[in-house]
């Protein structure tokens, strides 16, 4: 039988003493921002509206709002002439602009499938910093209008990404609309804007 190693208990005690310290150090270390998040932030610009802020891609071109109800307006370049999309943030005032369900019904009435068939919207609901958010994805021929029902001749192969954000000051209506390929390429940016909404500092 081999004689007992007197160093083994000392080594075990040392390992037990070091392990908790290493675990505490690892737990206290802040998690690094993912490469994707860093890339998105580097290529984006801050936007402030209604006491909140978020970010939009730097490639989006800021435009003067066409009406007083538009808090922000951007043109989004597409691949080729006539492929531009538009991003708009509306605020009609406290208690104005309609509920999420009312807007879904209105937007759905402006879209048509093959042979004029109704289009079924894809709807998602979630919360951002305590605010209820409802998003809608509609695709097809789009007769865009402000009121109820279609206006003008429908444009084929269009997409509308829209959201109703129930902010403390009233509903924000966020829209990204245009040719399907251009809007689809900006889906992540649209969602990042919504999920990045937070109170502005100060």
Write down all domains in the chain, each with its CATH number in brackets. Answer: 35-199 (3.40.1000.10)
Question: Residues of the chain whose pLDDT is less than 70?
Answer: 1-42, 146-151
pLDDT at 81: 86
Exposure class string for 116-126: b at 16+ Cβ within 10 A, else e: eeebebeeeee
Give pLDDT tens digits for 99-156: 999 999 999 999 999 988 999 999 999 999 999 999 999 999 999 876 555 567 899 9
Please return the burial class of 4, using the count of CB atoms within 10 Å of its CB with bins 0-12, 13-18 and 19+. Answer: exposed
Residue holding tokens 């079924």?
A: 120
| pLDDT given for residue 130 in this prediction | 95
- pTM of the predicted model over 0.85: no
């Amino acid at each position: 039988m081999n004689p007992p190693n007197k160093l083994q208990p000392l080594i075990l005690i040392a390992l037990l003493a070091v392990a908790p310290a290493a675990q505490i150090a690892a737990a206290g270390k802040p998690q690094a921002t993912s490469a994707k998040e860093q890339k998105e932030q580097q290529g984006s610009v801050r936007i402030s509206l209604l006491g909140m802020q978020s970010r939009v891609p730097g490639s989006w071109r800021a435009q003067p709002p066409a009406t007083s109800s538009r808090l922000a307006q951007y043109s989004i370049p597409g691949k080729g002439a006539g492929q531009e999309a538009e991003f708009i943030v509306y605020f009609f005032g406290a208690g104005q602009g309609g509920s999420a369900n009312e807007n879904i019904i209105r937007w759905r009435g402006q879209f048509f499938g093959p042979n004029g068939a109704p289009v079924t919207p894809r709807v998602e609901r979630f919360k951002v910093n305590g605010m209820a958010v409802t998003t809608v994805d509609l695709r097809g021929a789009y007769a865009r209008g402000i009121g109820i029902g279609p206006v003008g001749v429908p444009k084929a192969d269009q997409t509308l990404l829209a959201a109703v954000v129930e902010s403390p000051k009233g509903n924000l209506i966020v829209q990204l609309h245009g040719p399907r390929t251009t809007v689809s390429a900006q889906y992540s940016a649209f969602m990042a804007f919504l999920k990045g909404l937070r109170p502005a500092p100060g």
